[in-house]
A and B are shown apart, each in its own frame.
Chain A
Amino acid sequence: MKTQPIIAPSEPPVDAPAPPKKLTPRKVKWARRRRALKRLWADFSRNRMGMAGLIILLIFIGMAIFSFFADPGRLDPTVVTDGPRLAGPSLAYPLGTNQQGISVLSLVVEGSRTSLYIGLTAALISMLLGTTVGLWAGYKGATTDALLMRLTDAFLVLPWLAFAIVMASILGQSTVAIILIIGITSWAGTARLVRAQVLSVKERTFIERSRALGASDYQVVIRHVLPNLMPVIFANTILTIAIAILSESALSFLGLGNPLSKSWGTLIEYAFHAGALSLHAWWWLMGPSLSIVLVVLGFTMVGFAMDEIINPRIRER
């Protein structure tokens, strides 16, 4: 959309107020967004739960990034040939060692990359699917809505693990398959939420006005509806990531994951089946387990905090 440049006035007299800089509708929009973000951040930083969650997440993301640069030899039993087998936590090995003498901490750090990757990607797919369905159903209404909601309800009641097991038998046990499976079993909640939001946004007058002005459906959805949904979708996606990580751990624990992917879930599965419980090698199990709990807590806390900020009624609690 071409805009008319506003001609700046010539040098003002010294004691006159400063003239406005070049302003365009787009610049105004972005300025407003930046201010909204700043406000969001201000609110968020005052929320103790949210900040605590964020710190946890930053630690683990840092871990994942670090794993890219760490020496892969530290995980290779033919390189680390003299590690103590099944040793308990100590200064040298803060999380103890596994059967091959490899530091569990290294395994956990390596696993963070896979687990976070799977969690984020699966949540992304879930979010895209759910948002699309929810938008479409909410905006179109009538038959489309009814049909899509039937579909959503069906997926909502589907027992996710039974479905995941069957899908894994069909799709195989690759990382991609796991991501798809998690995405397919978790989009329904987002869809419902998005639809509810769309319904409430639809009522507002500026939608009517845009349509009166001749904007197409697509434009209305993209330009007006979607931006209003962003905060809710964002908060919901954060919570979906938490669920995705939990789902991946359950699937891997049952043996459905890619056994060579070294995610936290597969680490736990391997340790469990190697008899870690009987061998009293609790650190081998608890290292990856507590990492899952912490990361999921982190995402949950951030998500809940966002919920509180976005929904003013919740904030009063």
Chain B
Amino acid sequence: MRKVHKGLLVIISGVITMFLAAGGAWAQSATPSTTAGGAGQPITFVEGTINDMRTVNPWKAIESPEYEVLALNFDTLENFNKDDLTAAPGFATSWTQSEDGLTWTFQIRDGATWQDGQPFTAEDVAFSFNKTLDCSLGNSLDYLVPKFTKSIEATSPTELVWTTSVPTLAPVRPPWVYIAPEHLWGNSSCDEIKKAPFFEDGKPMIGSGPFQLTEWKKGESWTMDANPNYWGGAPHIDKFTVVKYDNSEALVNALKNGEIDYAYIGSVDLFQQLQAAGPESGITTHVGPAISFDQMSFNMCDPTAADAAPYCAKTGSTGNPALRDPVVRTAISWAIDRQTLVSKILAGLGSIGTTVIPPFASAYHWEPTGDQVIGFDIAKANDMLEQAGYTDTDNNGIRNDPKTGKDLDFRLILRSESDVGTQVGDYVTGWLKQIGIKTEPEVLTDGKLVSAWYDNDYDLYIWGWFPDPDPDFMLSTFTSHQCGVWSDTCYANPAYDKMYTQQQTTDNVQERAPIVQQMQQTLYTDIPEIVLYYDKYLEAYNSRDWQGLEDNQSPTPDGYLWAQYTPYSALTLAPRGTETSSSSSSSVLLIVGILGAIIVIVGIVMIARRGKSDEDLA
């Protein structure tokens, strides 16, 4: 064999050796478990997420990772009851309502401190609530019913009094407003508070909760340290870290490789794969509550209508007028096979959608029965449209609007950031085709969708909600004054608006529930949007190294293992006490790698020293 070829072979084998050394060592070394019990190493629980955290300002939170951090770093006035998410004692140890229902008195616990050591008092609560009201601080405002609250005062360090102009259950919903320390923010103006980042490098976020945000590498990861002086008890772990990944696949891989301990899994297929592997694989899966839903919204803004929402009248709308005909919307609803969506897209991990208050809010959810139910019937939908005059006048397979003569052709916006967005779009397009309606699907980033939404520049879009435990917020989004703020569709119904105010101002559940249910029924028959399905919250965590999650779900049954409204499991989570096996094979790997490099060098030398026998190469 010619020396040249031998040399080449040697080089190639050397490279392969190095390659295999690198890979083999990885395969050999024990799967590194997170530092649960390594001597001297802090006990860290690592979560992976694909949602990024943009801000930790308690008044600006929108995304779930933000709420997760805030729930650990701060407290609310009352806790969410572990089982049913109603108000439970937290900071407020007890409360009473006056005879006339206009005054709520809260006893605030004694001895709690802020994470910087300062005592926590009712003054802090009063400050936070009043600041929210005075500055109209965004997302939490409605919980403090600004229309009916007369005053919120700390009458002593341990007593808070909240007076309203009408009786209302708002103070015990519980209000989802995080309490911020007055001694740090008391002198800030509204503007300063709105823009304050609340966390800066080297300055941990001062709150009162069981954890404190101490590190934030924007876009990559953030870490919270345990607060051993928490009034609710010290956590059993030292640190909690969240790492950002790009997509569900990277997330699940990280979980399998032991790089993270917990994740919410957005992809049904990946979840089922983990589920199939079973807890013996070291990863336990958990099907959580069907608390969130996806919906298809119709553009309900008609600027020329008499009772159009003010923002709608001001901004105008490009929505197809045919969509404002309830017959069209009802027919479309009859053409959507929600069961197929659940079985095909959610792989059964969910249930069909009905109203915007999911079934888990058992006290308030309204379930349509008998004739009220809108099911799946293509023939019926076709009939409806035909009888209403939407016939195909130009024989192109698409029905025409009798008022304008134009084809029923709707723009359907899908979110690029949704795992299932385009899939649902495909199904919807297919079914609508069967009833003679054409769709123009468009895939937009959330940024662009928000623009289109605010400009009322759409016909249909598909998005989703994670409603609050209390139905008030979700119901409020359908009131006319939420158009341009939170309203999905700019639906404007004065009767509905009245009912909303009514349920806000009743002060007992027996009176409130029927109103809430009536509101759901109104929405179900008016169909400003179609609730497609409730999807279950899919979680998976490293059960080989961690415990204390399943027995502390919230709410019950089938609650969240982690990132709960009030983080109970954060205090019960503990390592299982397995020792990490140190990767001692690194030196072996190094030797093999060096060996490979030597072989490569030998090969090169062999080729370089070609002798005279290579003269006749041609």
Contacts and interface: CB of A to CB of B under 8 A. Distances in A.
Contacts of A86: 269
B446 to A, nearest CB: 14
B252 A275 contact: yes
B426 A278 contact: no
B423 A278 contact: no
A36 B249 CA distance: 57
A272 to B, nearest CB: 8
Interface string B239-250: 000000001110
Chain B interface bracket (under 10, 10 to 19, 20 to 34, 35 or more)? 20 to 34
B344 A85 contact: yes
Contacts of B249: 273, 275, 277-278
A81 B270 CA distance: 22
A227 B340 CA distance: 61
A282 interface: no
A231 interface: no
A255 B433 CA distance: 27
B500 interface: no
Question: Could you tell me the dominant secondary structure of chain B's interface residues?
Answer: helix
Contacts of B443: 259-260
B464 interface: no
A100 B270 contact: no
A273 B442 CA distance: 18
B430 A278 contact: no
A79 B578 CA distance: 52
Contacts, number: 56
A81 B340 contact: yes
Nearest to A273: B247
B601 to A, nearest CB: 34
A99 B427 contact: no
Chain A interface bracket (under 10, 10 to 19, 20 to 34, 35 or more)? 20 to 34
Nearest to B421: A259
Interface in A71-96: 76-79, 81, 85-86
B422 interface: yes
B273 A278 contact: yes
Contacts of A270: 422
Contacts of A275: 247-249, 252, 267, 269-270
B434 interface: yes
B438 to A, nearest CB: 13
A279 interface: yes
B64 interface: no
A99 B269 contact: yes
B264 to A, nearest CB: 15
A23 interface: no
Contacts of A76: 426, 430, 433
B575 to A, nearest CB: 27
Nearest to B337: A78
B548 to A, nearest CB: 28
B419 interface: yes
Given A81-B340, A275-B267, A259 B416 contact: yes
Contacts of B422: 259, 270
A79 B433 CA distance: 11
Contact of A78 (B247, B416, B427, B442): B427
Contacts of B199: none
Contacts of A260: 441-443
B459 to A, nearest CB: 16
A101 B270 contact: no
Nearest to B431: A78
B502 interface: no
A237 B575 CA distance: 64
Interface in B246-269: 247-249, 252-253, 267, 269
Contacts of A274: 267, 269, 419
Given A100-B426, A279-B273, A77 B344 contact: yes
Contacts of A81: 340
Interface string A244-268: 0000000000010001100000000
Interface string A86-117: 10000000000001110000000000000000
Contacts of B419: 274
Interface in B332-359: 337, 340, 344, 347
A317 B450 CA distance: 61
Nearest to B445: A255
Interface string A279-293: 100000000000000
A8 B339 CA distance: 83
A260 B433 CA distance: 16
A5 to B, nearest CB: 55
A77 B430 contact: yes
A278 B252 contact: yes
B123 to A, nearest CB: 50
A101 B344 contact: yes
Interface string A171-205: 00000000000000000000000000000000000
A17 to B, nearest CB: 53
Interface string A35-60: 00000000000000000000000000
A86 B441 CA distance: 24
B423 A100 contact: yes
A208 B504 CA distance: 94
Contacts of A273: 247, 249
Contacts of B427: 77-78
Contacts of B441: 260
A63 B81 CA distance: 62
A196 B609 CA distance: 42
Interface string A152-182: 0000000000000000000000000000000
A275 B340 CA distance: 22
Contacts of A78: 337, 340, 427, 430-431, 433-434
Contacts of B253: 278
B454 to A, nearest CB: 20
A240 B269 CA distance: 39
A100 B344 contact: yes
A77 B269 contact: no
Contacts of A255: 416
A81 B345 CA distance: 12
A279 B270 contact: yes
Contacts of B423: 77, 99-100
Interface in B392-431: 416, 419, 422-423, 426-427, 430-431
A81 B339 CA distance: 12
Nearest to A259: B443
Contact of B269 (A79, A101, A259, A279): A279
B430 to A, nearest CB: 3
Contacts of B269: 85-86, 99, 274-275, 279
B444 to A, nearest CB: 10
A77 B426 contact: yes
Interface in B431-484: 431, 433-434, 441-443
A244 B286 CA distance: 47
Interface in A203-236: none
A255 to B, nearest CB: 8
Nearest to A280: B273
A270 B426 CA distance: 13
Contact of B430 (A79, A85, A99, A259): A79
A51 B552 CA distance: 69
Interface in B54-103: none
Interface string B587-606: 00000000000000000000
Nearest to B442: A260
A277 B270 CA distance: 10
9 contacts: A76-B433, A77-B344, A77-B430, A78-B340, A99-B269, A273-B249, A274-B269, A275-B249, A275-B267
Given A100-B423, A275-B248, A278-B273, 9 more contacts: A77-B344, A77-B427, A78-B340, A78-B433, A260-B443, A274-B419, A275-B247, A277-B249, A279-B270
Interface of B: 247-249, 252-253, 267, 269-270, 273, 337, 340, 344, 347, 416, 419, 422-423, 426-427, 430-431, 433-434, 441-443
Closest 4 CB pairs of A and B: A78-B430, A275-B249, A259-B443, A76-B430
